[in-house]
Amino acid sequence: MKKRVVIVGGGFAGLNAARVLGNKVDIEVTLIDRKNYHLFQPLLYQVAMAALGEGDIAAPLRNMLANYQNITVFKGIVEQIDMKRKTVTTDFGDIEYDYLILACGVQHHYFGHNEWEEFAPGLKTLAQAKEIRRRVMEAYECAERTKDPVERKKLLTFVIVGGGPTGVELAGSIGEMSRYTLSKFYRNIDPKLTRIFIVEAAPRILGSFDPELASKATRSLEKLGVQVWASSMVTDVDADGVQIGNERIEAATVLWAAGVTAITIGKKMGLDTDRIGRIVVDKDLSIAPHPEIFVGGDLAYFVPENGIPLPGLAPVALQQGRAIGRNILLDSKQKPRKAFRYRDKGQMATIGKNKAIVEFGKIKFDGIFAWFTWLLVHIYFLTSFRHRVFVLLQWGWSYFTFSYGARLIVNREWRFYPNAKEPAKSTTTTDKS
Amino acid sequence: MKKRVVIVGGGFAGLNAARVLGNKVDIEVTLIDRKNYHLFQPLLYQVAMAALGEGDIAAPLRNMLANYQNITVFKGIVEQIDMKRKTVTTDFGDIEYDYLILACGVQHHYFGHNEWEEFAPGLKTLAQAKEIRRRVMEAYECAERTKDPVERKKLLTFVIVGGGPTGVELAGSIGEMSRYTLSKFYRNIDPKLTRIFIVEAAPRILGSFDPELASKATRSLEKLGVQVWASSMVTDVDADGVQIGNERIEAATVLWAAGVTAITIGKKMGLDTDRIGRIVVDKDLSIAPHPEIFVGGDLAYFVPENGIPLPGLAPVALQQGRAIGRNILLDSKQKPRKAFRYRDKGQMATIGKNKAIVEFGKIKFDGIFAWFTWLLVHIYFLTSFRHRVFVLLQWGWSYFTFSYGARLIVNREWRFYPNAKEPAKSTTTTDKS
């Protein structure tokens, strides 16, 4: 009798679990995601910065899994999970499972100030990336139009909250764009005057990296006009800027690259979770009372021998997804499950053209070689998308021409979305110019 | 003393007028558009059908005009025009002009039923194209999920209102996609069962084409599963389908490719307009009482010697834009203006892979040769976009793999758009599954 596996979430963990289970006898997989696409998160900031198009780093899940006849993909929302009846309740009906894989990731949290989200979008989805792109480009358009120098200064000020890789990459891109790309396009403003800030609560940015590399990254950022404010806790965010204790920066555009929180699913199910809601998993990535339930990716709180919990990185999610798939196969062969062991793939961040830092165990390096390493690694991992050749071409183009992709502002001209799946939302707009 | 030229609209007419005036001595150009990009309209349907990305057929106006030092581009909205004071009032202040070029085009009209727009989006802007893409793909997702066969039939039914080139190209693409591309991606539905209708009020589709070519196009459409309803006037459109007199089609997705109307600017200014609001222009493309005001593109109502008003086609707009620019230069040289003469570039429409019709004066042909002609002509005209190489590659890819670009559904996850330029709008959503 076929084992029914339900996977919640089509990110790195969910997708790779599905691939391991694909076309395996006696296994039937149902993958549910609220989006219809898998997203190559590490390059999302490039979509936000108009260096890449959405099609370059995302592909519909059903295309990616089309050749696995035993996998069914649904675009839908999981509303409830009944662990006793082993049933997942979705917005399109109930689905029973023998194995459940939770891989629905984390989202940005605003230190308990969700009202800040309105003024400081995060960067987790394509929609958010397009929104960030729209805001950044709109700011330059408004600056070109306004005659008020103070207003213009505010419009040409960008604050990135959070000094992790994403924050650094966003700040670096804006710095590069403003210093090199945009200059010749405007008549009334000098984009080189753009002020860019990284506001980081910790004493330094890139805390997960070697201090020396981090300070090199900081120098590279400074050369692009980015000012790093370390040991700076944001105390308020509004439509006109950010408050940092007694200090204040007036900025039309604030981007959020700070804390994340696991969606409340773990608590809802009454499972052990850590401080930010990640579900505590055993060595085999299942959860204590329910060996048939696995958790992978950012949503999983996994502590290896060394006692340091694994970070929310793509390679971790990818490896966990595969490990979960393999453990389910081991079960069906009545063999003992294997404990998950993370093979460290190192970490890297790119600041700008020819500028990146790479850390792999003891090996640490930066500069142009690091940048090419970053390039190759990411191109390699894009292989799941049919567009990787386009990505290479576009990067090549940008590299030599220093021009970016189409910086289009596609405003929502739509009042109604009759067959949209989201709950009704109201949009309010305020004029900034 | 420099002549100040204000151009309203960055379409084919406005852009090409600007190019003619670019870097000319004693001329100062201000181009205003509510979008920040120029759009290659003839291929917009390919964005709607996910065959191309938005960056492939659009580019920011300020990039395209960057090398003309005497041209300033503003993203803004023209609110009023004072022909006596020769002043344009925008949402960012007043701008005086010596010459005014109106080229802000036309929009869809719903035979006086604007409430239909909610259920049947038109195809004039990138935002609309993305919305159409979203609706089409969403319909397949919902069909895959629903267990109700009648609901599924409705979800797999697409009605295109209007049998002009755009309607034919949309219908053809959906037919091709459903018959060849999507099949292998779904488990619960057979996309080949998709029903597609073109509802045209006139006795036949492609009325501007030779009847024989039009009937060949109809045959090609039928082979892709498209049913053409001619002499069929839509009497009502709602969330569940369309009413055609006593007949009714239940459809989750209705697309509007029917009538257009010039925006009310002409009437507002008290100028001569035709039935659909296009501004009547003289032989030199200026308007009778105001030789300093020119009108070009879809907004202009121009009647050549043969007495047949020029249609709203890209080549017409392009040539008129250039002619306007040249006439302004002639003025500055105290030379007489030239009357506009349209050099017929013929017309063509594509139905699907290897299927197109081309009409050029007496020459008429269809089939694969017509399709390649269509391809080459459009690639040629894409030369203003840095992406034309990508377009070629993507088309090549689609041609041989029969796969389309990323069919991503990017839902709006945003409640607020603090620095959006649009007036506040509320979005309502209704669940279709």
The shortest C-alpha distance from A130 to chain B (Å) reads 9
Judge: B253–A119 Cβ closer than 8 Å, yes or no. Answer: no
Q: Return the residue matching tokens 């590659």.
A: B393
pLDDT in tens, A122-165: 999 898 999 999 999 999 999 999 999 999 999 999 999 999 99
Q: Token pair of A162, please?
A: 């959070």
Which of A180-194, A418-432, B124-138, B210-224 is predicted least confidently?
A418-432
Of B416, B422, B430, B433, which to mutate for an interface test with A (greatest number of A Cβ within 10 Å)? B416
Q: Ranked by mean pLDDT, which of A354-358, B37-41, B95-99, B127-131 comes out on top?
A: B95-99
The shortest C-alpha distance from B72 to chain A (Å) reads 6
Judged against a pLDDT cut of 90, whether residue A372 lies above it is answered with no
A257 contacts A161 by C-beta, under 8 angstroms: yes
Q: Token pair of A95, please?
A: 């689905």
Q: Chain B contact for A84, CB < 8 A? A: no
Q: Chain B contact for A400, CB < 8 A? A: no
- Residue A186: which of B62, B121, B416 has the nearest Cβ? B62
Q: What is the CB-side half-sphere exposure of residue B141 using CA atoms within 13 A?
A: 31
d(CA A184, CA A108): 35
Pairing of strands B247-250, B241-244: antiparallel
The shortest C-alpha distance from B282 to chain A (Å) reads 34
The shortest C-alpha distance from A72 to chain B (Å) reads 6
Judge: B387–A393 Cβ closer than 8 Å, yes or no. Answer: no
Q: Chain A contact for B70, CB < 8 A? A: no
pLDDT-above-70 percentage for chain A? 88
Residue of B nearest to A90 (CA): B145
A417 contacts B121 by C-beta, under 8 angstroms: no
Residue at A286: amino acid letter: S
Q: Token pair of A256, please?
A: 């959020």
d(CA B81, CA B78): 8
Pairing of strands B71-75, B27-33: parallel
Average per-residue pLDDT for chain B: 87
CA A61 to chain CA centroid, Å, is 17
Judged against a pLDDT cut of 50, whether residue A370 lies above it is answered with yes
**Could you tell me if residue B299 is left (phi over 0), alpha (psi between -120 and 50 degrees) or otherwise beta?**
alpha
- Residue B427: which of A145, A147, A424 has the nearest Cβ? A424
Confidence (pLDDT) at B266: 86
Q: Token pair of A193, please?
A: 């005057």
pLDDT-above-90 percentage for chain B? 67
pLDDT in tens, B372-413: 888 888 877 775 555 556 666 666 666 655 555 556 666 544
Under DSSP, is residue A254 helix (H, G, I), strand (E, B) or coil? strand
What residues of A act catalytically?
169
Q: Chain A contact for B89, CB < 8 A? A: no
Which B residues, 121 through 140, put their C-beta within 8 Å of a C-beta on chain A?
121, 125-128, 130-131, 134-135, 137-139
Residue of B nearest to A423 (CA): B429
B189 contacts B180 by C-beta, under 8 angstroms: no
Q: Return the residue matching tokens 């296994």.
A: A27
d(CA A307, CA A310): 9
d(CA B290, CA B294): 8
Confidence (pLDDT) at A260: 82
Which of A304-318, A333-347, A357-371, B406-420 is predicted least confidently?
B406-420
Confidence (pLDDT) at A412: 47
Confidence (pLDDT) at A413: 42
Judge: B62–A185 Cβ closer than 8 Å, yes or no. Answer: yes
Count Cβ atoms below 10 Å from residue B98 Cβ, excluding itself. 17
Q: Chain B contact for A186, CB < 8 A? A: yes
More confident position, A342 or A418: A342
Confidence (pLDDT) at B426: 34
Task: Note the residue count of chain B.
Answer: 433
Q: Return the residue matching tokens 């309105």.
A: A118
pLDDT in tens, A331-342: 999 999 999 999
The shortest C-alpha distance from B393 to chain A (Å) reads 8
pLDDT in tens, B334-384: 999 999 999 988 889 999 888 999 998 889 999 889 988 888 888 777 755
The shortest C-alpha distance from B246 to chain A (Å) reads 24
Q: Token pair of B26, please?
A: 């004693």
Confidence (pLDDT) at B187: 92
Judged against a pLDDT cut of 80, whether residue B433 lies above it is answered with no
Average pLDDT score over residue span B189-213 = 94
- Residue B126: which of A54, A135, A410 has the nearest Cβ? A410
Residue of B nearest to A39 (CA): B408
Judge: A127–B420 Cβ closer than 8 Å, yes or no. Answer: no
Q: Residues 6 or more apart from B63 whose CB is under 8 A from it? A: A185, A403, A407
pLDDT in tens, B410-422: 654 443 333 333 3
pLDDT-above-70 percentage for chain B? 88
Q: Chain A contact for B112, CB < 8 A? A: no
d(CA B234, CA A81): 46
Judged against a pLDDT cut of 80, whether residue A385 lies above it is answered with no
A110 CB neighbours in chain B (<8 A) are none
Helix axes A165-176, A211-223, angle to 10 degrees: 20
B412 CB neighbours in chain A (<8 A) are 127, 412, 417, 420, 422, 425
In angstroms, the Cα distances linking A369 to A173, A206, A223, A224, B167 are 19, 19, 18, 19, 52
pLDDT classification of A430: cutoffs 50, 70, 90: very low
pLDDT in tens, A218-239: 999 999 999 999 999 999 999 9
Confidence (pLDDT) at A112: 85
Q: Token pair of A227, please?
A: 């000012």
Which of A10-19, B282-291, B365-374 is predicted least confidently?
B365-374
B59 CB neighbours in chain A (<8 A) are 406, 408
Tell me what percent of chain B is helix, strand and coil, each rounded to the nearest 5. 35, 25, 40
Judged against a pLDDT cut of 90, whether residue A319 lies above it is answered with yes
Judged against a pLDDT cut of 70, whether residue A250 lies above it is answered with yes
pLDDT in tens, A264-291: 788 888 999 998 899 999 999 999 889 9
CB pairs < 8 Å spanning A and B: 258
Confidence (pLDDT) at B56: 78
Q: Chain B contact for A403, CB < 8 A? A: yes
A138 contacts A332 by C-beta, under 8 angstroms: no
Q: Token pair of B160, please?
A: 């295109």
Which member of B131, B141, B169, B305 is catalytic?
B169
B307 contacts B345 by C-beta, under 8 angstroms: no
d(CA B353, CA B398): 10
Give the DSSP letter of residue B116: G
Read off φ and ψ for residue B348, nearest 5 degrees.
-150, 155
Confidence (pLDDT) at B406: 55
- Residue A408: which of B66, B126, B406 has the nearest Cβ? B126
Torsion of CA B337, B338, B340, B343, to 10 degrees: -150
Average pLDDT score over residue span B118-133 = 91
Judge: A419–B252 Cβ closer than 8 Å, yes or no. Answer: yes
ipTM, two decimals:
0.80
- Residue A427: which of B409, B417, B433 has the nearest Cβ? B417
B397 CB neighbours in chain A (<8 A) are 386
d(CA B328, CA B323): 9
d(CA B416, CA A428): 5
d(CA A356, CA A349): 6
The shortest C-alpha distance from B74 to chain A (Å) reads 7
Render A147-160 in DSSP notation, one character per residue: --HHHHHHHTEEEE
- Residue A416: which of B72, B186, B428 has the nearest Cβ? B428
d(CA A352, CA A177): 10
Average pLDDT score over residue span A65-81 = 95
pLDDT classification of A181: cutoffs 50, 70, 90: confident
In angstroms, the Cα distances linking B325 to B5, B14, B21, B25, B151 are 10, 9, 6, 13, 55
H or E stretch at A38: strand A37-39
A409 contacts B400 by C-beta, under 8 angstroms: no
Confidence (pLDDT) at A432: 33
Confidence (pLDDT) at A200: 96
Confidence (pLDDT) at A285: 97
Judge: B433–A92 Cβ closer than 8 Å, yes or no. Answer: yes
B234 contacts B119 by C-beta, under 8 angstroms: no
